[in-house]
Structure 1
């Protein structure tokens, strides 16, 4: 690894920010893929593609870690099942019957879910700075998602897709906290094994969906969706997120989920021509401030 790569590998806040950027795109692309790629198929192609991309870079490390993989297979299966199989299939299925705005707002609850499971699994408690930081950044999320008028959120239609996304968020909270018990494997080994197991465990649901007649369109939009989710929200984001949690722990990593709507709104301004407004700036500032506050105890 180059000197720059080693430096980046030791910067948790940079890694977690990149993670949020990739996952912000995942919500938008997941909604874009509705009608083009069936939800379980999108998750299956995503993780199979990510596994095939990472495998050549991980082969040597896998050979060295093989004994550890076998010894720690049960927890690796649990991590793959929660963080890959269930979470992604549910997110894409939920996005078929709700709006991206609902998905972004619901995902802002993720830091609370992570904190809950960190408490249940390890007895880790949020300190006052983390609680204050999550609250401040959540206000920023609400401002951005509601376009500066939180009252409009009361008019959002709640449907079964939202309930499915909530279920996915609960499962990913468990996965994020459980990363604290991640086996001592090389990072590339861990990615390859979890991607492979996640895709393998998705296969029965994929076959059922395929047998029902659901098919991916052979269009540029469908292929773009598959390539994007396999490369960026999967390979890049998971590498960065896993390392970020390793460096600062799940509770301090959680507030970075609030950056997801920040990057979503920036993408809308840059690529979709949306006009920047006061609530963008205020929301971004609140989210950034909340994240800084939530890391306060680490600085002390």
Structure 2
């Protein structure tokens, strides 16, 4: 796959995640977190079966990739989601947005520690510029609000969730070297569901379904999980974890766009400035990019 196609897929993954984040807040009012986690990956596994049968074939994990696929299941499907939902209980939406913006930085951190990826100073500068742009978007241009930001117990859960997601990206990099991204996502979803059953059985509860709730849960399972993770894994296989993860900075950008189109929420000038800063940081990060691995 060409570099251009891989970058387009990462933007598509970011868009899918942004749509899911907006929808998830409403769904969690009717469905508890563990039940939603089970449903989203159950739907993902079901959706992937016909796609795999039509586009390729089932390739069972082998000794050289089973640990990496299991790592995707443990760090992404299980730990990241459970810690994120736990963090939601005791922190604010602003804190969640700020900590979630650390995802590209944590993926780069694990890439440096585990994969021995070396970054040029221009990429490091671009990464922090983009992170600053996310902060501008979160605070709508009023960065003085940073001084009054309060920290909560849930922030620690969210930070742990972000680092766990970074590890899952590294596992995906290893897994997709010897198995397709579709198969890696399918088997990690299955393993995650099996691991979730003994942990979450006592927490499962069946909500009162209506057409709107069914549609929202399907959107989370199909769009923001199956498609987003598939695109993300494809991009990781082609570009690497660090370069692919950087596009996550665009989640709030797409979130503002989706809110504008579907919720008629007009962005304020601070969000537009943050958008431009993210664009500038991205241009720095991808300017004559050259990753060196030992």
TM-score, length-normalised on structure 2?
Answer: 0.89
The correspondence for 2:242, drawn from 243, 251, 270, is 251
The correspondence for 2:231, drawn from 228, 240, 248, is 240
The correspondence for 2:181, drawn from 155, 173, 187, is 187
> Which protein is richer in helix relative to its size?
1
Query: Which residue number corresponds to residue 87 of structure 2?
Result: 94
Query: Which residue number corresponds to residue 42 of structure 1?
Result: 36
Query: Which residue number corresponds to residue 5 of structure 2?
Result: 11
Query: Which residue number corresponds to residue 79 of structure 1?
Result: 72
Q: Is the CA contact (8 Å cut-off) linking 2:123 and 2:289 kept in structure 1?
A: no
Residues 47 and 38 of structure 1, relative CA distance in 2, 3 Å threshold:
same
TM superposition shift of 1:218: 2.3
Residues 90 and 33 of structure 1, relative CA distance in 2, 3 Å threshold:
farther
Residues 224 and 166 of structure 1, relative CA distance in 2, 3 Å threshold:
farther
Q: Is the CA contact (8 Å cut-off) linking 2:119 and 2:290 kept in structure 1?
A: no
Inter-partner Cα distance in structure 2 for 1:38 and 1:248: 36
The correspondence for 1:144, drawn from 125, 130, 137, is 137
Query: Which residue number corresponds to residue 291 of structure 1?
Result: 282
Query: Which residue number corresponds to residue 173 of structure 1?
Result: 166
Inter-partner Cα distance in structure 2 for 1:219 and 1:99: 29
State yes or no: 1:25 paired with 2:16: no
Query: Which residue number corresponds to residue 118 of structure 1?
Result: 111
- SS at the partner of 2:91? coil
Cα distance per residue 1:55-77 (max 9 Å; x no partner): 122247444x23x4465322211
TM superposition shift of 1:286: 1.2
Unaligned runs of at least 5 residues, structure 2: none
- SS at the partner of 1:276? coil
Unaligned runs of at least 5 residues, structure 1: 1-5
Inter-partner Cα distance in structure 2 for 1:229 and 1:62: 25
Cα distance per residue 1:172-225 (max 9 Å; x no partner): 011112322124113322221112112221112220213xxx443324453233
State yes or no: 1:58 paired with 2:52: yes
Query: Which residue number corresponds to residue 205 of structure 1?
Result: 199
Cα distance per residue 1:132-159 (max 9 Å; x no partner): 1111111211111101101213334432
Range moving further from structure 2, 86-95 or 201-210: 86-95
Query: Which residue number corresponds to residue 3 of structure 1?
Result: none
Q: Is the CA contact (8 Å cut-off) linking 1:40 and 1:205 kept in structure 2?
A: no
Cα distance per residue 1:33-72 (max 9 Å; x no partner): 2331111111110001110011122247444x23x44653
Residues 158 and 219 of structure 1, relative CA distance in 2, 3 Å threshold:
farther
